[in-house]
Structure 1
Amino acid sequence: MTTCRLCGAGDLASVVDLGATPPCERILTAAQLDEPEVTYPLHLRVCTACWLTQLPPLITPEETFTDYAYFSSYSTSWVEHARAFVAGLPLRPGAFVVEVASNDGYLLRHVVERGVRCLGIEPSVNVGEAARRAGVPTVTAFLTPETARAVVREHGRADHVVANNVYAHIPDVVGFTEGLRTLVADDGWVSIEVQHLLTLIERNQYDTIYHEHFQYYTVASAQRALASGGLTLVDVELLPTHGGSIRLWARPEGTPGQRVRDALALEKAAGLHDLSGYLGFAARVAKVRRDLLGFLVGAAEAGKIVVGYGAPGKGNTLLNHCGVRPDLLAYTVDRNPYKHGKFTPGARIPVFEPGRIAADRPDYVLVLPWNLRDELIGQLSYVHDWGGRLVFPIPELEVV
């Protein structure tokens, strides 16, 4: 990577180099275990002109999202988050809501329940079909300016455009933002949720760095990205989801409010509007790796059994960066049946259904989707029945 994908500047500074890993959602079948597995560099850099933090576009969205392993509805807390969001929208009679990257209809199903007209735009064929089966109108497409114009010709402009956990997944930031602007009515709203780089840096959340995330946003860099496509950031909310996210509220015209100014001040104080806030992150990442490996090796030498809970994309970054293999983590489990009987990319950890934990009664359960901590502590409370303990690797190693 030699130039910034947002502003075109050529001065990109290294933030952390995680080596080379396979794409995090490219889960393997048993038949693929004897086949070569392609890996790509995972080196995060920041543009010192516009401060967009980014990965080079080594894989295309089409490679990742045409057939996708992630179904949003398998997270109870995420569905509730979406329900509460929709319940708070002031939707007038006759309103039209569009969600970009609508996945399996986890959010728009609540719009349907309110009797409001809606449409999902979802590139993944398999999860889009799940949404249609659930009664959520969905078109299979990536958002581009051309796609947006086609949707507007058929359905009209939207009063509200939702883009949750997708703004990091697109290499063409300007074109995607132009698509959002095309979809929304002149007096409408665009809401975007995306992980906040501030919490990623401060809480050592480096496992959320993976190839399908092309960039990571501060409020400042998101404000510039939105402006590149004709949208103005007018409000921002700091959310606890995914370990710390921002909900950006943008309009075709408007003025940034006090919460935008407060968030920018918070980022500036953390040094994220210059290089100072990025220094030292790589050293903290290295400590997370050493601590987790030390724990797993010590458990193995003591004859203890460690298994995982969850097979999320972030878990695959962690396992591959740390060099974890089945001798240290016997298997992991996941609620998504799409992953059962398969193997995690790179590390090749077997994935089973969640009941396997209760059957095997391991000594430790390594929780890979640590961002769902509160939800999973409740779900996994039965592990304590036989004296088992939960292990959280981020922001620092913790045995519960």
Structure 2
Amino acid sequence: MPVDGRLLNPVFDNRPLSHTEDRCRACGSDRLHRFLDLGEVPLADRLLTSEWDCRAEPRFDLVVALCHECALVQLTETVRPEVLFADDYPYYSSVSRTVIDHAKANVDARLAERRLDRSSLVVEIGSNDGYLLKNYVAAGVTVLGIDPAEGPAKAARAGRVDTMPEFFTSNLAHDVRQRRGPADIVHANNVLTHADDLRGFVTGIATLLKPDGTAVIEVPYLRDLVESVQFDTIHHQHMCYFSLTALDNLLGAHGLFINRVERVSIHGGSLRVFAEKVEDRDASVLDLLAEERAIGIASRAFFDDLADDAAVLRDSLVAMIEDLRSRGHSVAAYGAAAKGAALLNACGLGRHHINFVADISTHKQGLLMPGVHIPIRPPEALFEERPEYTLLLAWNFADEILAQQGAYREAGGKFIVPLPQPRIV
């Protein structure tokens, strides 16, 4: 397998960069039903710095499977976490106003529910650049962030958010509890999907919590992924995909009870669950579990149309863009996130289709998109160059981006929203 030049450093040694996973990450069963094969693709978050990177770019199988025992959906190939989330990990949560506002509303609600002060402890796993914990800091609550990506962790510390640049494990959880005491609240937003060792991860959450503590966990909702054909959210960084049924089985096996659940709109549809050490379930959990049973979310039939639906959507989008190009129209794209790279690679949309990808993050500008090698430029490039159409790769932040690009739209620029069906706005 080819190896990116940045992977050739001592931390990665000579071990294989990935391995095949033939058992369920949650329950250990070997009863896996493989229902979607997206081929051999590059890492969606590994932006490239040069043409040399392009020549040496690694690719890995991307196959998705359902566990018949516990309903977890997972990838069958595991890329080593230090490869996925290395020092140059480019995602910074604070670049999105939608994410910032979502996090603040979450914290405000938690502060209203619990009496927290400097003697309390709130931990966030996968705390990134401190986008969420800074709201607790402003309220005078003691916090600790845990995140292995040195760049975002450094940014968090610069913003007065105490952060450990470490991978979260059950052993680390034990060490944190010994040194800092148990936590009142443990946040885990869009990080459980990244965990290869799910059982160790959840054990660590339980270890950190006080007897009356709460784990507030957000995950993209599997039901929304399937029903809206969000196949671009499937990439190697997302090793697991959750229904409430699968989450309930996973957490319950480690002494945590989901007592409340909320469906939230962020990232195309997510679940926010509240897990505690004492069972006290409300109707939100019982009702959604019943809904999932009714639609068969733990059965292979629920997933068997996804591959065909994704192929139809993919063909429709490619046909639209190729038709625009054949008629002489220029096309750019917006959003250099992992889902954008996943969509471009799945559709085979490269430099001959897309002139450039605009992105607001300065950490991504000047780099190249994985696989398709399209250059990433600042958002101002849309107004300056005025491509007639812009493919909205970050469709989950459509409202925010469309508002930001008012001048471009007033000048005649149009956006292509790819999901759940390609349309021009």
Q: For residue 281 of structure 1, what is the aligned residue in structure 2?
A: 306
Q: What is the CA–CA distance in structure 2 between the aligned matches of 1:386 and 1:268, rounded to whole Å?
A: 49
Q: What is the CA–CA distance in structure 2 between the aligned matches of 1:275 and 1:110, rounded to whole Å?
A: 42
TM-score normalised by the chain length of structure 1: 0.98
Q: What is the CA–CA distance in structure 1 between the aligned matches of 2:313 and 2:34, rounded to whole Å?
A: 19
1:296 and 2:316 correspond: no
How far apart are 1:210 and its partner, in Å? Answer: 0.3
Among candidates 77, 81, 92, match of residue 102 of structure 2 = 81
1:11 and 2:11 correspond: no
**Residues 286 and 100 (structure 1), Cα distance of their counterparts in 2 relative to 1, 3 Å cut:** same
Q: What is the CA–CA distance in structure 1 between the aligned matches of 2:51 and 2:184, rounded to whole Å?
A: 47
Q: What is the CA–CA distance in structure 1 between the aligned matches of 2:186 and 2:115, rounded to whole Å?
A: 12
Query: What is the SS of the residue equivalent to 2:194?
Result: coil
Q: What is the CA–CA distance in structure 1 between the aligned matches of 2:270 and 2:194, rounded to whole Å?
A: 15
Query: What is the SS of the residue equivalent to 2:33?
Result: strand
How far apart are 1:269 and its partner, in Å? Answer: 2.4
Query: What is the SS of the residue equivalent to 1:88?
Result: helix
Q: For residue 220 of structure 1, what is the aligned residue in structure 2?
A: 245
In structure 1, give the amino acid aligned to 2:55. E
Q: For residue 70 of structure 1, what is the aligned residue in structure 2?
A: 91
Q: What is the CA–CA distance in structure 1 between the aligned matches of 2:59 and 2:161, rounded to whole Å?
A: 36
In structure 2, give the amino acid aligned to 1:92. L
Q: What is the CA–CA distance in structure 2 between the aligned matches of 1:347 and 1:398, rounded to whole Å?
A: 23
2:226–2:306 Cα contact (<8 Å) kept: yes
Q: What is the CA–CA distance in structure 1 between the aligned matches of 2:348 and 2:115, rounded to whole Å?
A: 49
**Residues 167 and 359 (structure 1), Cα distance of their counterparts in 2 relative to 1, 3 Å cut:** same
In structure 2, give the amino acid aligned to 1:27. L
Q: For residue 48 of structure 2, what is the aligned residue in structure 1?
A: 28
Q: Which moved further from structure 2: 108-117 or 51-60?
A: 51-60
Q: For residue 56 of structure 1, what is the aligned residue in structure 2?
A: 76
Query: What is the SS of the residue equivalent to 1:135?
Result: coil
Among candidates 257, 260, 263, match of residue 238 of structure 1 = 263
How far apart are 1:2 and its partner, in Å? Answer: 2.4
2:78–2:196 Cα contact (<8 Å) kept: no
Which digits, 9 at most, give the CA deviation of each residue in 1:225-277, with x for residues without a partner?
Answer: 11232211111111101000000100112133211111112222222122221
Query: What is the SS of the residue equivalent to 2:273?
Result: strand
In structure 2, give the amino acid aligned to 1:384. R
In structure 1, give the amino acid aligned to 2:237. E
Matches within 5 A, 1:147-186: 147-186=172-211
How far apart are 1:149 and its partner, in Å? Answer: 1.0
Q: What is the CA–CA distance in structure 2 between the aligned matches of 1:65 and 1:24, rounded to whole Å?
A: 11
Q: Which moved further from structure 2: 358-367 or 370-379?
A: 370-379
In structure 2, give the amino acid aligned to 1:159. D
In structure 1, give the amino acid aligned to 2:254. G
Q: What is the CA–CA distance in structure 1 between the aligned matches of 2:144 and 2:334, rounded to whole Å?
A: 34
Q: What is the CA–CA distance in structure 1 between the aligned matches of 2:397 and 2:294, rounded to whole Å?
A: 28
Q: What is the CA–CA distance in structure 1 between the aligned matches of 2:116 and 2:78, rounded to whole Å?
A: 43
Which digits, 9 at most, give the CA deviation of each residue in 1:27-65, with x for residues without a partner?
Answer: 000253453211111111111121110002430211111
Q: Which moved further from structure 2: 134-143 or 383-392?
A: 383-392
TM-score normalised by the chain length of structure 2: 0.92
Matches within 5 A, 1:109-258: 109-258=134-283
Aligned residue pairs total 400
- Unaligned 5+ segments in structure 2 are 1-20
Matches within 5 A, 1:268-347: 268-347=293-372
1:177–1:228 Cα contact (<8 Å) kept: no
Q: What is the CA–CA distance in structure 2 between the aligned matches of 1:229 and 1:350, rounded to whole Å?
A: 45
Q: What is the CA–CA distance in structure 2 between the aligned matches of 1:153 and 1:208, rounded to whole Å?
A: 37
Q: For residue 388 of structure 2, what is the aligned residue in structure 1?
A: 363
**Residues 178 and 303 (structure 1), Cα distance of their counterparts in 2 relative to 1, 3 Å cut:** same
Q: What is the CA–CA distance in structure 1 between the aligned matches of 2:31 and 2:300, rounded to whole Å?
A: 12
1:391–1:397 Cα contact (<8 Å) kept: yes
Q: For residue 422 of structure 2, what is the aligned residue in structure 1?
A: 397
**Residues 302 and 380 (structure 1), Cα distance of their counterparts in 2 relative to 1, 3 Å cut:** same
Which digits, 9 at most, give the CA deviation of each residue in 1:313-359, with x for residues without a partner?
Answer: 00111110111111101110111111111100101110011111110
Among candidates 91, 100, 116, match of residue 92 of structure 1 = 116
In percent, how many aligned pairs have the same letter?
Answer: 36
1:293–1:322 Cα contact (<8 Å) kept: yes
Which digits, 9 at most, give the CA deviation of each residue in 1:274-320, with x for residues without a partner?
Answer: 22211211111001110111011111111100001110100111110
Q: What is the CA–CA distance in structure 2 between the aligned matches of 1:217 and 1:309, rounded to whole Å?
A: 27
1:57–1:171 Cα contact (<8 Å) kept: no
RMSD: 1.2
